[in-house]
Structure 1
């Protein structure tokens, strides 16, 4: 939240930084420095304007978020703004969120989404092939991010409950779904339910997610190009009838929810655990007998480099051994190559080899 509120200072700070860097650097150049200086000043101006535009989008996200989460949340937000200044850590969250929008809700991100979402959707559709019965099938999607995968599953007719811990992700997904969440407060989380109808203006909004990418660029134009969202093909779409989002820690919000779900879908999620065994055991517990767990993603453990956090990092082979020891019967294992929030026009293209597996809880447990 601090990052959202303080990003407003970021464009000016960015412009000052670029201009100072330009003048200092060009002073050491040869006669070509005048031309280079001119180009850099033009570019820094574009970066400034792009960042201002990103600010406008972030302000809309904040506005929607405050209307969704209520006056108490708004009051806390104002206090945060008064007490803190933006830090690189917070700014990186915002830049990451902009890229996440590209991944989940744009045409540009479709190929990246499809690489890991399509295998999940195919498995779930096949497992529950009777469309008329799907409303009785309860799915949970922990770590649902900006909600696209959970939304797509709900559009298939399933009763879907997304879960997300990050308030940045929750506020942004609320904005992306047109601020049509109805919020139900409880002691440890917020439950967000979609309104009956979502109004989409196709590619209504613009962001500049790569304006600050100074390395591995082919051109200035690549860095400052706009990306439009959302990508949905209809200007008006019926909201899935049974789609909700639960805000909170996955382990906490499932403490009293044993044997409630027919299927748990985890995409790019299990490596967010401090102890992945806790996730495995919790997923097993919340599944109904005969329920299915579908997983895809790498093992880029999020707490690995945090000295102050207790964390265990297990290799895939050991993870799967524990999956089986917990009681799962592994039906399918594959490796899927995929990117994650890449800049498709960058010289740098990091690729993951993701683990994809389907595991079932015994009917007799």
Structure 2
């Protein structure tokens, strides 16, 4: 079995690669090769184990597909994308990275099936940014996969468009598409990125490392978060679920919203103080950024997770457990380069 991970040197991609490499099997079959596609050749500090052969393809997604598909591909975990604030600041960047690249990937998978009969499973990482509240249709307090989507950002719109195209390609039988909507992942190690949600990890990570951090939203802001471990568990569970109508199966073509822990920013800061001390909390400066606040407040915070629960998935226990997981996994207390 040959598996591709796009964005495989990113944080979630690296964790996913480590899990697959350590297990050595996917859907009960041995993994022959993991192919990591990323724009950078830099190796992650999250190493896999086991005897799975791993190779790297460096470059733009659309331009790398000929290399990727010179050998048959069985599954693609499509994690690569331009992130929320990037897409809002530069529409063309988002269209190129998220729309053009994903369309090229889906069509490469389709060509493989049409030419060889070998079906590619495409596991697509979508986002809660597909939701939003429209003046004509306010978003309900609790959302589910059946809630009408009215995204309020270019990033959310681009994710929504490809959720629909993947569903249609799956309906037509030219690929096996599975869409997983990720919550805001916290706590991420490393440096802040251009995602609107970057502060969610930053207000925990930097203070624990003895550094200052700016919180651009009010303490009452509600967030739906998931720890890195829960996120990777959810992606793999949806990827390996059998299709069907019975318990524990993946029914229909709807996405799966991963289970969310709903907390306020104030709850997060309280947890930081409990586990890191008053000094850590004092390193967080509250300074509102209307642009960031507008994007993040458009995302839902409460979910009906019946679809994920039916697959055996669950949310993190509480915010203290999320922070404790970060401390355990990154015991040095430093912000990784």
The question of a shared fold, defined as TM-score above 0.5 by the shorter chain, is answered with no
- TM-score norm. by structure 1 comes to 0.25
Which of structures 1 and 2 has the bigger CA Rg? 1
TM-score, normalising length: structure 2: 0.26
More helix by share: 1
